[in-house]
Structure 1
């Protein structure tokens, strides 16, 4: 993402992935840094890119879907500790 973006996300994403790293279904962060005018995050690719799935759903997820995803992520993280 561009460094000057109004709401940067990659730094926060990299910190969250590092916290959850090692859990089932959580990709490993290989590298995060600022390169020129861009924030760069390099991580393992485990399957479909969530952004593509989000676009497939017309960029709208129901509350139920969001809660189910959160529940699965928390359960996977707790069970892997």
Structure 2
């Protein structure tokens, strides 16, 4: 699995075009699953240093970062 995180706010810019080409090439090569996440489209709050994650093992803030965590874990488990 290839996970592409796009941080640029310009959704039709050069970074998006480059990522799209890389992902298109990876898809054309075979059995590779690809996912692109546009960070600027998500609602992600900054860490509040509440240390809740030290007690629960996961962040206590419920925002779109959960989607990214899930994608990263899926990618790591597929290796």
- For the aligned pair, the TM-score class normalised by the smaller chain equals 0.3 to 0.5
Question: Does 1 or 2 have the higher relative contact order (CA < 8 Å, sep 6+)?
Answer: 2
- TM-score of the superposition, structure 1-length normalised? 0.33
**Structure of greater Rg:** 2
- TM-score of the superposition, structure 2-length normalised? 0.33
